[in-house]
Amino acid sequence: MTADSQPNTSDRDTRFRWLVLALIVLASFISYVLRTNLSIVAPTMKADLGLTDVQLGMVFSAFAAGYAIFQFPAGVFGGRIGSRAAVTITAVLWGLLTIATGLVPGSEQASIGMVLASLIALRFLVGVAHAPIFPVTGGTTADWFPVGHWGLPLGLSSTGLQVGMAATAPIIIWLMGFSGWRGSFFLTAPAAFVLAGAWWWYVRDYPREHPKVGPRELALIDANRPPPRSHAEHKGAWKKVIKNRDLLLLMASYFCMNYVFYVFFSWFFFYLTDVKSFGEEEASGLFAALAVIGAVGATIGGMSCDRFISRFGLRRGPQVLCIASLVLCAAFLFLGATAIGPYQAVILLCLAYGFTQITEAAYWASTISVAGRNASEACGVLNTGGNLPGVLGGILVPVTAKYFGWVAAVSTGSVFALVGALLWLFIRADRPMLEPTRTAGE
């Protein structure tokens, strides 16, 4: 018997939305294992394939380019076909592309140019395939949780990706120990197929479509919620989203914050092994510690977001939380970049990263608040801004390091964090785009 054929739930209260959230967290976890894996195998793969640091940076940037370019189309895609189909399809693609990465030709089978082109093409496609996950699940969170109570589930979603990052280094290093860097891709790919099956089985696009959601839970979720969009509204939603002033400001600020994220995502493990001279096993532990601190920060940020909104309102709550966190991030990042002792540097840099993650829920909750029924498309806009810096950072960091040193390369993140904090002064998350008496330019 499938979930569709189950008898409907009685009048008793249900908590099925939390199972949906658990699957969102699992999807975040698996997504980050299957995208962070290349950062962990990079030193070994670089030596095996004969790549330079700049060529490796091009490979990192290829993922970020595909991921960033397809964020907005992915949000539209999810809004059109629904989260159930969208996540299932993309998870299957994750698994197939992970296997394909393990099959990339070596230098004995092809020229360096062909090897590099293959890696760039594959990482671009990996970016495209992973692009829908956060815009689509952001829309799922908006649809499955009560209005104004999105902070904690969004924070936990970010926690899932941080735990995925924490787990990736030890998992991949362990798998590489007996299967090589190629084998680590083959052995992690099946997780994507498991996620695809679980998501299709348990998740529906809207709570009212799921037979296990009871009337009380449905009433709680639907309270103060605008009615579902018509077909015409679905088609025109993207035009409204890209013209909204507050959504564009959120995207610009998220760009700045995520520049710092990509410095860590793409280069932290490499920085530990090649710049600070840590061994691979110790570096994997420190990389995991970084992600654990990020997970703690994301959870704290999710809980704090709801509390700040309750206390200060939708405008001031996220604003205060993000400005304070980004200023502290900038300070710790600069101190970490200039620290002499390697462990002192790692501690300060980890704290800087933790403060970036405290802001995550506030960015996404503010976007959902402004977008209303157009959450999937708006989250695609937000994450477009959030991932364009991956293209910039993938090249800017090694080039800056080459000509000015790693202190300058890491310190560029402080400038971006401060600009991101400044932009929050102009963001109005308390101004929904669907209010008939207001326009996007007000």
Average pLDDT over residues 276-288: 83
Write down the pLDDT at residue 266.
Answer: 76
Residue at 433 is within a domain: no
Residue at 270 is within a domain: yes
Residue at 77 is within a domain: yes
**pLDDT tens-digit series, residues 103-127:** 888 777 767 788 889 999 999 999 9
Res. 233: pLDDT tops 60: no
Cα distances from 220 to residues 155, 189, 294, 314, in angstroms, run 20, 38, 31, 20
Residue at 439 is within a domain: no
Domain that holds residue 394: 9-426
One DSSP character per residue, 20-32 reads HHHHHHHHHHHHH
**pLDDT tens-digit series, residues 353-389:** 999 999 998 998 898 888 877 777 787 788 888 877 8
What is the distance between the alpha carbons of residues 82 and 241, in angstroms, rounded to a whole number? Answer: 18
What is the distance between the alpha carbons of residues 257 and 358, in angstroms, rounded to a whole number? Answer: 11
Residue at 438 is within a domain: no
Domain count along the chain:
1
Res. 8: pLDDT tops 50: no
What is the distance between the alpha carbons of residues 299 and 155, in angstroms, rounded to a whole number? Answer: 5
Res. 226: pLDDT tops 70: no
Contact 63, 390 (CB under 8 A): yes
Chain centre distance of CA 275 = 26
Contact 21, 204 (CB under 8 A): no
Contact 401, 413 (CB under 8 A): no
Cα dihedral 250→297→136→92 (10° resolution): 140
Q: What letter would DSSP give residue 55?
A: H
Contact 423, 252 (CB under 8 A): yes
Residue at 1 is within a domain: no
Greater confidence (281 vs 224) lies with 281
CATH code of the domain covering residue 14: 1.20.1250.20
**pLDDT tens-digit series, residues 134-152:** 888 888 888 888 876 778 8
Cα–Cα nearest to 349, from 328, 323, 324, 321: 328
> What mean pLDDT, rounded, does the chain reach?
84
What is the distance between the alpha carbons of residues 131 and 295, in angstroms, rounded to a whole number? Answer: 21
Question: What are the φ/ψ torsions at residue 428 (nearest 5 degrees)?
Answer: -115, 90
Residue at 434 is within a domain: no
Of all residues in the chain, the percent with pLDDT exceeding 70 is 90
Tokens 């829309």 found at: 139
Residue at 436 is within a domain: no
**pLDDT tens-digit series, residues 52-77:** 878 888 888 888 788 878 887 887 78
